Amino acid sequence: MPLLALHDVGKSYGALKVTDGITLSVAEGETLGILGPNGAGKTTLFNLVSGDVPVDAGRIEYQGRDITRLKPHHRCRAGIGRSYQVPQPFGAMTVFENLVTAACFGGQLPERQAWLTAHEVLQETGLLPHANKPAGGLTLLNRKRLELARALATRPKLLLLDEIAGGLTEPEAQELVAELRRIKARGLTMVWIEHVVHALLSIADRLFVIDFGRKLAEGPPQAVMADPQVRRVYMGLEAA
């Protein structure tokens, strides 16, 4: 049984079909990379899985259970954690307080357990030296780390990452990828939307490419990147 399964999922805004009959599944322990041009409907797909936005059509299953109509906070408590493309920390709170809040309210941990979890996540994401700084004053790399850390503090079984490497310099992106590799190695299932293709390729087990809300390609990373349609539509390259 896959951890996550989408069956013919659809979403429209007015006449615009943003998600058009998407069917995909994610196996436990897998890292699925999602690619697609700007406006292809990638973030919308995450919004549908996390419940931030209701679906118009189709069904979403998590751990074999139909969660299509479940509220976002219940999905979070069931183990679906996500980051946002634009980091959304509580800027006036410290890094540590942000994580305790995520662990208490997202992960529903009792306070003592939330503190311990926040500490573990600080270590895992390299944020320990910044624990007592206000989140609003962090560098972009550390804001991205905090976005990752806030999702981890909810103790997810499925982690959805939305362009976590976007805007970083090459060495910063490499640091973040190294952290994600360690997280992957402990068996966490991840779905990662990313435009920084080489970062995604260094970790993804499988790719799923979206264009105009539809599946364009799916499969092993090398095969997908060699697909003439993907090269033309996504990378603007002529087919070899």
Ligand X SMILES: Nc1ncnc2c1ncn2[C@@H]1O[C@H](COP(=O)(O)OP(=O)(O)OP(=O)(O)O)[C@@H](O)[C@H]1O
Distances (CA, A) of 203 to 11, 33, 92, 123, 197: 29, 8, 34, 21, 10
The footprint of ligand X on this chain (CB under 6 A) covers a number of residues equal to 11
Smaller CB separation from ligand X, 14 or 64: 14
Q: Name the minimum Å distance from CB 13 to ligand X.
A: 4
Give me the DSSP letters along 79-121: TEEE--SS----TTSBHHHHHHHIIIIIS---HHHHHHHHHHH
Query: Shortest distance, CB of residue 210 to ligand X, whole angstroms?
Result: 7
Query: SS3 of 191, please?
Result: strand
Residue with smaller CB distance to ligand X, 44 or 117: 44
Q: Does 144 bind ligand X (CB under 6 A)?
A: no
The residue (of 127 and 165) whose beta carbon lies closer to ligand X is 165
The torsion angles phi and psi of 134, rounded to 5 degrees, stand at -65, 135
Q: Could you tell me the smallest distance in angstroms from the CB atom of residue 122 to ligand X?
A: 28
* Whole-angstrom distance, CA of residue 240 vs CA of residue 228: 7
Q: List binders of ligand X among 80-109 (CB under 6 A).
A: 85
Toward ligand X, which CB reaches closer, 39 or 220?
Answer: 39
Q: Which of residues 34-73 bind ligand X (CB under 6 A)?
A: 36, 38-44
Which member of 18, 76, 148, 225 binds ligand X (CB under 6 A)?
A: 18
- Per the listing, tokens 């079984």 go with 157
**Cβ closest to ligand X, residue 40 vs residue 164:** 40
User: Which residues have C-beta within 8 Å of that of residue 195, sequence separation ≥ 6?
Assistant: 35, 163, 166
Residue 85 beta carbon to ligand X: minimum distance, rounded to whole angstroms: 6
Interface with ligand X includes 13 (CB under 6 A)? yes
Element housing 29 (H / E): none
Residue number with CB closer to ligand X (34 or 176): 34
> Do the beta carbons of residue 125 and residue 179 sit within 8 Å?
yes
Write down the least CB distance from residue 11 to ligand X, Å: 8
Min dist. Cβ of residue 47 to ligand X (A): 7
Q: Which residues pair with 16 in a beta bridge?
A: 13
Q: Which has the closest alpha carbon to 53: 24, 28, 78, 84? A: 84
Q: Which residues bind ligand X (CB under 6 A)?
A: 13, 18, 36, 38-44, 85
